[in-house]
Amino acid sequence: MNVAATASPSYNKGNSYWIECIEAAMNPSLAPYAAHSSLTRGRLHDEPSPSARSEYQRDRDRIIHSSAFRRLEYKTQVFVNHEGDLFRTRLTHSLEVAQIARSIARNLSLNEDLVEAISLAHDLGHTPFGHAGQDALNECMQGHGGFEHNLQSLRVVDVLEERYGGFDGLNLTFETREGILKHCSVENARQLGDVGRRFLEGKQPTLEAQLANLADEIAYNNHDIDDGLRSGFLAEAQLDDIDLYGRYRREVERLWPGIRGRRAIHETVRRMINALIIDLIRASNDRIKDVSPSSLDDVRNAPPLIAFSDEMRAEAAILKDFLFCNLYRHYQVNRMSSKARHTLTRLFDAFAAEPGLLPPDYQSGGGKGNDLYRNIADYIAGMTDRYAMREYRRLFDIEET
């Protein structure tokens, strides 16, 4: 499965002293075991070092200016974009993850710029229509290498973005690319070169990558409660029995007797987010102290060091199960998911049966390789929700052009 560029990075350090000075100004309390951009393992293609920002700041800026990042504005988180203007999208979700991750990184003396870059890029490869779209595309790609949005995010930054004259993709640093690749099968890891090696050797990514993964969990658990209540798919009475919500809801009511509506929900959810963040900082600090890493290599050889306490992990798991059963499997969400699967499956089948329906850049022999099915997956995964619906009408509605 050619999911990303497979060449080994050229370890271009450039003017590491200048970059180190910039980073010291931006992150004055950076721990020795944090990722230092002056010590990056480099980029896939040699480039001069940036002159007024660190390597990880350059990564962040390239991600924000990418086409794939802009498209996240119209990609589903839980609710399809046309269902309401106030629900989260993949873009607002990514911004919330980055904010949470930076706050925690500062408290743990980790590299805020790297954790922000990873957070902003982690969903770049997501399909339209959220996880329903991913599942449909993966099913269509069985026998052709499969599809997984995490791998697709790496493919976006390594191969698919077209912004620079000298290379495909965004040419991000090894550490940002490693953080984007949260999980990976052994089979795929063997094809990914250096960035997949840790999955074969049983090693850990940077603490910044570990942190971005858990900041993602904090963000979606809490904003999905907010969106679920706003939509009416969840009722506050249901959540009162969930300890992590009920405890802070009761605290809010003690502080402001009679408080109701959106104000009460926001006050409750923000306390939940704060509790998860504080717990993660304390539990991670304890783990780091127990292991006493003195370098990034020590982090890679240690067990995972960024984690919740056992008690908080158990409470978060109960909340996640509740959301799965009551929100993600709500009958109205199921209806939209069914439409999403139908839409993407019919698009895929039509393109596979008649490649001439594809834009020329994605037809066999075009795209980013000679694999027609991978080209189709790239095309569909890059669609926004509304573009996928429009493309469906163009192909199957006789009155559309």
Which residue intervals of 65-111 are DSSP H helices? 67-71, 90-107
Q: Looking at residue 52, what is its pLDDT? A: 86
Task: Give the orientation angle of helix 90-107 with respect to helix 261-291, to 10 degrees.
Answer: 50
Checking if the pLDDT of 6 tops 60, the result is no
Higher-pLDDT residue of 352 and 14 is 352
Checking if the pLDDT of 8 tops 50, the result is no
Checking if the pLDDT of 245 tops 90, the result is yes
Mean pLDDT in residue range 289-296: 97
Q: Are 334 and 351 in contact (CB under 8 A)?
A: no
Mean pLDDT in residue range 238-264: 94
Q: Looking at residue 11, what is its pLDDT? A: 43
User: What type of residue sits at position 263?
Assistant: R
Higher-pLDDT residue of 99 and 130 is 99
Can you tell me the distance from the alpha carbon of 90 to that of 123, in angstroms, rounded to the nearest whole number?
7
Mean pLDDT in residue range 106-134: 95
**DSSP bridge pairs for 43:** 10, 173
Q: Looking at residue 293, what is its pLDDT? A: 97
Checking if the pLDDT of 209 tops 50, the result is yes
Q: Looking at residue 107, what is its pLDDT? A: 97
In this prediction, residue 202 has a pLDDT band, given cuts at 50, 70 and 90, of very high
In this prediction, residue 368 has a pLDDT band, given cuts at 50, 70 and 90, of low
Query: Taking Cα atoms as reference points, which of 189, 185, 179 lies closest to residue 210?
Result: 179
Tell me the residue ranges of DSSP E strands in 306-347.
Answer: none
Which residue intervals of 16-66 are DSSP H helices? 16-26, 55-64
Q: Are 105 and 112 in contact (CB under 8 A)?
A: yes
Q: Are 38 and 14 in contact (CB under 8 A)?
A: no
> What does the DSSP 8-state code read for residue 360?
G
* Domains of the chain from N-terminus onward: 16-232+323-332 (1.10.3210.10)
Higher-pLDDT residue of 84 and 94 is 94
Q: Looking at residue 3, what is its pLDDT? A: 47
Q: Looking at residue 377, what is its pLDDT? A: 96
In this prediction, residue 364 has a pLDDT band, given cuts at 50, 70 and 90, of low
Q: Are 33 and 298 in contact (CB under 8 A)?
A: yes
Mean pLDDT in residue range 273-290: 98
**DSSP bridge pairs for 89:** 76
Can you tell me the distance from the alpha carbon of 381 to that of 324, in angstroms, rounded to the nearest whole number?
24
Q: Are 134 and 245 in contact (CB under 8 A)?
A: no
Q: Looking at residue 123, what is its pLDDT? A: 94
Checking if the pLDDT of 291 tops 50, the result is yes
**Mean pLDDT, rounded, of the chain:** 90
Query: Which range has highest mean pLDDT (129-138, 239-248, 255-264, 281-290)?
Result: 281-290
Q: Looking at residue 15, what is its pLDDT? A: 59
Q: Looking at residue 398, what is its pLDDT? A: 81
Query: Taking Cα atoms as reference points, which of 119, 187, 186 lies closest to residue 153?
Result: 119
Q: Looking at residue 13, what is its pLDDT? A: 46
The whole model's pTM is what? 0.91
Q: Within a 10 A sphere around the Cβ of 135, how many other Cβ atoms?
A: 17
Can you tell me the distance from the alpha carbon of 137 to that of 132, in angstroms, rounded to the nearest whole number?
9
